[in-house]
Amino acid sequence: MPDADEQHQHLAAALIHAADACKRSFARAVEGHGLTHTQARALFALDEPQPMSALAEVLSCDASNVTLVADQLEQLGLAERRPASDRRVKLLALTDLGATRRDEVGASVSAQSFPSSRLDASERTTLLGLLERLLGPDAD
Amino acid sequence: MPDADEQHQHLAAALIHAADACKRSFARAVEGHGLTHTQARALFALDEPQPMSALAEVLSCDASNVTLVADQLEQLGLAERRPASDRRVKLLALTDLGATRRDEVGASVSAQSFPSSRLDASERTTLLGLLERLLGPDAD
DNA sequence: TATTGTTATACTCTATAACTATA
DNA sequence: TATAGTTATAGAGTATAACAATA
């Protein structure tokens, strides 16, 4: 097996492992707020109102699944569907409660021993930059 | 929200997103070989025979789930359970077919446009190093 | 008593396909 | 015809709890 192959595979394994650790840390931090990690990810993605399809891209899942997440966030009173100029489109937007909750959840996430606390600030910046290049303009 | 909080959250989001992209790329590459991405991850983890519990750690899942993965790999003829000196322990080991398959799958994974191809070799080395520090000695 | 692996079970995530309504 | 969102459904991943065999 060529070295390049092996590096790709180790990198993939490390990425998946690191993300699993992040997901679980995330999930633990947010479960006290009554949210699943998917709901929390959606919450953080809604700085601006987003079409459902845009949210699907952020969550890297099929659009059909966003319907459920949106339903859940609406039931919790954290987000609401709004009409858009193109009447096929629905914009999902945080409610005031949702924005408040997002900040509370964000504080919990950072407060607990998050995996990325093992890195210093400049390492985190480097890592973030590499990940963004990795994801690239058309990650999917 | 303090900057540090925000950086943690962006980093977590980027990591999860990157890993999702890797998982899907991985899954597409291995489905032609009749494997799920979990089965493929297990295959790559079995360079040396591993106790089921060790495999659970690599796959970052509960030990109870490894039973199913091991069953599947055994049914495919790719791995086998072997007794260990501690007779409570079962070692999962690749068969010859399993080792061959792992190399074939590895080639497929690298051959297709894998997300990490967007980075050059030295960037990949940097990324891998950061991820390993992130995971740390006791990532869970 | 504690630990390894197993079984049974339930919940979440995710994709596919068929549908509605708009464009 | 094509697109955004929805619904229904099925498969895969995951955790919890109770259990057997062994330490």
Q: What is the pLDDT of residues B50-104, one digit of tens each?
A: 999 999 999 999 999 999 999 999 999 999 999 999 999 999 999 999 999 999 9
Q: Is A64 exposed, middle or buried (0-12, 13-18, 19+ CB in 10 A)?
A: exposed
Task: For residue A3, give every residue at least 6 positions away whose Cβ sits within 8 Å of its Cβ, in sequence order, or none.
Answer: none
Of A35 and B10, the structure prediction assigns the larger pLDDT to: A35
Q: Strand D: which positions are within 7 A of a protein CB?
A: 3-9, 12-18, 21-23
Q: With an 8 Å Cβ cutoff, are B123 and A106 in contact?
A: no
| pLDDT-above-70 percentage for chain A | 92
Global pTM reads 0.85
Q: Which one of B59, B112, B130 makes the best mutation probe of the A interface by having the most chain A beta carbons within 10 Å?
A: B130
Is any atom of nucleic acid chain C found less than 7 Å from the CB of residue B31? no
pLDDT at B1 over 60: no
Per-residue model confidence (pLDDT) at position A111: 73
Q: Strand C: which positions are within 7 A of a protein CB?
A: 3-9, 12-18, 21-23
Q: How far is CA B137 from CA A12, A118, B133, B140, in A?
A: 19, 11, 8, 9
pLDDT confidence of B139, banded at 50, 70, 90? Answer: very low
Question: Cα(A109)–Cα(A120) distance, rounded to whole angstroms?
Answer: 17
The edge-to-edge listing of strands for the beta sheet with A79-83 is A50-51, A90-94, A79-83
Is any atom of nucleic acid chain C found less than 7 Å from the CB of residue B70? yes
pLDDT confidence of A92, banded at 50, 70, 90? Answer: very high
